[in-house]
């Protein structure tokens, strides 16, 4: 048995198996005609195999007649299959059925009348061609035979046209059609080659042998199309169960369709179909405005107790920009708006709480710093008076306690600013060596008291000047070195300043203190936390210093790290972003007095201060510096003194009865608009929160001093008064 006959028998069995599979698994309109086509394929393959094996011409001709009786309707079955797949409706009904069956039925009649194979209209002759080594039945077509084959090819051309993908088809549908089209082209091409006699052996038709391939491709395409065919049903079910309200309007503005959600909310019913939308939605003016608008926009509107996000979009006709329909979608945002209102209220409450906290901190800062100013101020004054050793010791303890209290107040304020995201980092030119030296000089007495060696090393690669915040660098160093001194009993504290890369400044503080266990190292950066309770009892502190320092490093573009061994010491490394400075004006804190600044020149100063203790402190400081002082208990008296005399500068408290410092400064600046000399005003306040300095400068003050007042700071501030303002 040749491989061609084996292939035909396999194809016949395969087509029957495919028929049962499709019949059991595929449930679409195309299932019936496709199964009929598979049955024709099976008969064709089986009949062709028997025909090739028949020993004589008569037997071959009889089998040929039987086989062709089924094939008369082969093209008809396939066009019905394709039409149902692509158009989702039957083709063979009514006059279409009658027209398409004329040629197949006529051909069937001519096959058997007047006798089998004897009608010359179909074929002139039939013979066995064994020239290719294989006995193949061949014949010459008659006039009707040519008509029959032309009919079949025209039907297949129609099939190709139905299968050809269109631009509006989905990707799945296009791929399914391409697969079906590819399978039909394979079968059609094989049949054409057979009729032109170019196959080997000559006249042998390979189309039935290819059925397993072509039928598998077609079945796969139909299974894909089944998913596509289900899409409208699924889409309809989905739309009906959507919570979104959907209303479809035709190009004339009438209601063409709606889903159940829209019917329930808007009161639509079947009588609404075809009626103008403006009439059916008249109860909802907002919706009427949307459907009558020329442009498509999203709008939030209320429909009864509900809130909706309304959107209207157009469905364009094919290949034109003319709207075919418009779809109104109402998305329920009632819950979202409720949540937004709750969030807005929560935000308002949080902002109010933040504002209350800021006011509380401002008040507490002012109220604590005001009496503390008296303690710190008079301590500084008493230090320069004759004292017994015992009095000197007591005074030292008072000074230490008051400064410790000031550190705690500053830590709490800084932490509150950081927590409220209110801490600002300045970017000014500052001298690295000056900043480090000032911090070390401040802490040198503490190191001397404990007989500790305090070593400072600044690497050669560190720029002379950087662009950063000198106050915060000073604070970082003070916190780290202060901690190192606190927890070190013997040995040394070493400060290394390096610049390992461009725009990078590293401050490394190493001590020989008690060290920190690895399990406690992460904890010490938590606010109000120390290594353990015994540390707090032994050394004191709020547990805020390292937390603030770590956050400052992060705000300055760097980080704070720790390396420590219990019993051997700790190394804190603060890395911050600090590019080398370009030509800028020096920060006032690091600017040396110019030739025109003469701190020793006596000044005539007006102090506006309502607190008697603060009055006494400021008067004592200024008298010690050699200046002449007049005191005004409030802003109104200060204005009266300014009007009656001449002063080199005014030290202005902000919180005073009768007239506060802000109003006083405003009136002074207004009076100067007429052409009088400008008064140099220095804010003298216990307010230390963010923005206070900027607020003072914005209303016309020239400088800013925070209570408790430090004599060196006050001296430096007065030194910045231009010499041109000094009394002659």
Q: What is the pLDDT of residues 262-283, one digit of tens each?
A: 888 888 888 887 788 888 888 8
Q: Tokens in use for 646?
A: 């001449």
Taken in order 623, 625, 628, 629, the sign of the CA dihedral is negative
SS3 263: helix
Distance between start and end Cα atoms, the chain = 134
Answer with the residue of higher pLDDT: 551 or 123: 551
pLDDT tens per residue, range 629-665: 999 999 999 999 998 888 999 999 988 889 999 999 9
Per-residue pLDDT at 237 exceeds 50: yes
pLDDT tens per residue, range 680-690: 999 988 776 65
Interior angle at CA 176, CA 171 and CA 181, nearest 5: 125
CATH 1.20.1070 fits domain 3-236: yes
Of 86-95, 121-130, 712-721, least confident by mean pLDDT is 121-130
CATH label, 596-725, candidates 3.30.540.10, 3.40.30.10, 3.40.50.2300, 3.90.550.10? 3.40.50.2300
Of 319-323, 444-448, 500-504, least confident by mean pLDDT is 319-323
Of 93-107, 255-269, 342-356, 392-406, least confident by mean pLDDT is 392-406
The pLDDT, as a whole number, for residue 404 is 67
Main-chain phi, psi angles of 565, to 5 degrees: -130, 120
Identical topology for domains 3-236 and 242-332: no
Whether cis (ω within 30° of 0) applies to the bond prior to 670 is no
Please name the fold of domain 427-586.
Heat Shock Protein 90 (3.30.565)
Q: Tokens in use for 442?
A: 């401040």
**Separation CA 548–CA 535 (nearest Å):** 19
The pLDDT, as a whole number, for residue 586 is 44
Residue 115 pLDDT level (bands cut at 50, 70, 90):
low
Average pLDDT of span 181-202: 82
The distance between the two most distant Cα atoms of the chain, rounded to a whole number of Å, is 152
DSSP 547-595: HHHHHHHHHTT-EEEEEEETTTEEEEEEEEE-PBP-S-PBPGGGPPP-T
The pLDDT, as a whole number, for residue 414 is 67
Average pLDDT of span 413-431: 73
The pLDDT, as a whole number, for residue 160 is 86
pLDDT tens per residue, range 571-606: 999 999 988 887 544 444 444 333 334 445 789 999
**Separation CA 400–CA 539 (nearest Å):** 14
Q: How many CA atoms lie within 13 A of 399 on its CB side?
A: 15
- For the beta sheet containing 628-632, the strands, ordered from the edge strand earlier in sequence to the opposite edge, are 628-632, 604-608, 649-652, 681-685, 703-706
Closest CA to 495 of 478, 479, 514, 510: 510
The pLDDT, as a whole number, for residue 510 is 94
How far is CA 187 from each of CA 68, 92, 163, 219, 286, rounded to the nearest angstrom? 17, 23, 15, 15, 61
The pLDDT, as a whole number, for residue 703 is 92
Q: Spell out a b/e string for 256-290, using b for 16 or more CB atoms within 10 Å of the CB, else e.
A: bebbebbeebbebeeebeeeebeebbeebeebbeb
**Separation CA 528–CA 535 (nearest Å):** 12
Average pLDDT of span 39-51: 90
Interior angle at CA 422, CA 418 and CA 427, nearest 5: 100
Average pLDDT of span 684-697: 76
Please name the fold of domain 242-332.
Beta-Lactamase (3.30.450)
Please state the separation of Cα 329 from the chain's center in Å: 27
pLDDT tens per residue, range 509-538: 999 998 888 877 777 777 655 555 444 444
Altogether, the residues listed in the chain come to a count of: 728
Answer with the residue of higher pLDDT: 728 or 57: 57
**Separation CA 124–CA 106 (nearest Å):** 17
**Separation CA 525–CA 268 (nearest Å):** 65
Residue 85 pLDDT level (bands cut at 50, 70, 90):
confident
Q: Tokens in use for 718?
A: 């007065």
**Separation CA 665–CA 654 (nearest Å):** 10
Percent of the chain surpassing pLDDT 90 = 19
The pLDDT, as a whole number, for residue 592 is 37
Answer with the residue of higher pLDDT: 292 or 424: 292
Give the residue carrying structure tokens 């989702």.
88
Answer with the residue of higher pLDDT: 540 or 717: 717
405 and 372 in contact (C-beta within 8 Å)?
yes
**Other residues' Cβ atoms within 10 Å of the Cβ of residue 459:** 11
Q: Where are the domains of the chain?
A: 3-236, 242-332, 427-586, 596-725
**Separation CA 88–CA 28 (nearest Å):** 9
Q: Spell out a b/e string for 375-393, using b for 16 or more CB atoms within 10 Å of the CB, else e.
A: bbbbbbbbeeeeeeeeeee
| Average pLDDT of every residue of the chain | 82
């Amino acid at each position: 048995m040749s491989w061609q006959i084996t292939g035909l028998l396999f194809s016949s069995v395969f087509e029957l198996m495919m028929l049962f599979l499709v019949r059991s698994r595929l449930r679409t309109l195309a299932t019936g005609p496709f199964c009929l086509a598979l049955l024709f394929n099976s008969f064709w393959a089986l009949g062709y195999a028997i025909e090739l094996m028949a020993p004589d011409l008569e037997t071959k001709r009889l089998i040929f007649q039987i086989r062709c009786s089924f094939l008369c309707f082969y093209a008809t079955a396939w066009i019905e299959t394709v039409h149902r797949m692509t158009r989702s409706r039957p083709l063979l009904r009514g006059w279409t059925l009658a027209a398409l069956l004329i040629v197949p039925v006529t051909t069937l009649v001519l096959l058997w009348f007047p006798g089998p194979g004897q009608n010359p209209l179909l074929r002139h002759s039939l013979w066995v061609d064994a020239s290719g080594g294989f006995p193949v039945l061949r014949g010459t077509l008659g006039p009707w035979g040519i008509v029959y084959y032309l009919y079949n090819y025209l039907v297949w051309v129609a099939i190709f046209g139905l299968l050809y993908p269109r631009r509006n088809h989905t990707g799945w549908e296009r791929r399914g059609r391409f697969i079906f089209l590819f399978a039909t082209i394979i079968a059609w091409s094989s049949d054409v080659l057979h009729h032109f006699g170019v196959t080997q052996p000559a006249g042998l038709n390979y189309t039935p042998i290819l059925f397993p391939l072509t039928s598998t491709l077609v079945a796969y395409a139909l299974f894909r199309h089944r998913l596509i065919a289900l899409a409208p049903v699924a889409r309809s079910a989905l739309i009906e169960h959507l919570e979104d309200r959907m209303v479809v309007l035709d190009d004339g503005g009438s209601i063409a369709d709606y889903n159940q959600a829209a019917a329930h909310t808007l009161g639509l019913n079947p009588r609404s179909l075809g009626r103008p939308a403006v009439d059916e939605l008249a109860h909802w003016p907002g919706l009427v405005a949307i459907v009558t608008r020329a442009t498509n926009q999203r709008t939030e509107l209320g429909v009864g107790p509900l809130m909706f996000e309304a959107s209207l979009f157009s469905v364009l006709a094919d290949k034109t920009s003319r709207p075919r329909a418009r779809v109104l979608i109402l998305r329920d945002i009632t819950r979202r708006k409720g949540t937004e209102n709750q969030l807005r209220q929560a935000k308002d409450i949080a902002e109010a709480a933040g504002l209350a906290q800021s006011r509380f901190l401002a008040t507490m800062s002012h109220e604590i710093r005001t009496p503390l100013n008296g303690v710190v101020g008079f301590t500084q004054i008493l230090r320069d008076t004759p004292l017994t050793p015992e009095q000197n010791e007591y005074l030292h303890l008072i000074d230490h306690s008051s400064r410790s209290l000031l550190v705690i107040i500053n830590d709490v304020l800084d932490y509150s600013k950081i927590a409220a995201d209110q801490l600002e980092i300045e970017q000014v030119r500052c001298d690295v060596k000056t900043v480090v030296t000032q911090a070390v000089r401040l802490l040198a007495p503490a190191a001397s008291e404990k007989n500790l060696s305090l070593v400072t090393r600044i690497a050669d690669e560190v720029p002379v000047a950087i662009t950063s915040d000198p106050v915060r660098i000073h604070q970082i160093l003070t916190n780290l070195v202060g901690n190192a001194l606190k927890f070190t009993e013997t040995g040394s504290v070493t400060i290394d300043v390096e610049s390992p890369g461009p725009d990078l400044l590293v401050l490394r503080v190493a001590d020989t203190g008690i060290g920190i266990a690895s399990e406690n190292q992460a904890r010490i950066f938590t606010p109000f936390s120390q290594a353990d309770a015994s540390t707090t009892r032994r050394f004191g502190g709020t547990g805020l210093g390292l937390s603030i320092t770590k956050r400052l490093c992060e705000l300055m573009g760097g980080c704070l790290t720790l390396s420590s061994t219990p019993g051997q010491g700790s190394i804190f490394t603060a890395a911050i972003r600090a590019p080398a400075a370009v030509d800028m004006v020096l920060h006032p804190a690091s600017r040396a007095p110019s030739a025109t600044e003469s701190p020793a020149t006596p000044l005539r100063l007006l102090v506006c201060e309502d607190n008697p203790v603060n009055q006494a402190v400021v008067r004592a400081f200024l008298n010690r510096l050699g200046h002449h002082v007049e005191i005004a208990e409030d802003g109104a008296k200060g204005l009266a003194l300014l009007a009656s005399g001449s002063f080199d500068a005014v030290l202005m408290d902000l919180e005073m009865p009768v007239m506060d410092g802000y109003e006083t400064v405003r009136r002074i600046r207004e009076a100067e608009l007429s052409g009088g000399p400008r008064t140099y005003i220095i804010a003298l306040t216990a307010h230390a929160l963010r923005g206070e300095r900027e607020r003072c400068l914005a209303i016309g003050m020239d400088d800013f001093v925070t209570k408790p007042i430090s004599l060196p700071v006050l001296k430096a501030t007065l030194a910045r008064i231009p010499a041109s303002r000094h009394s002659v």
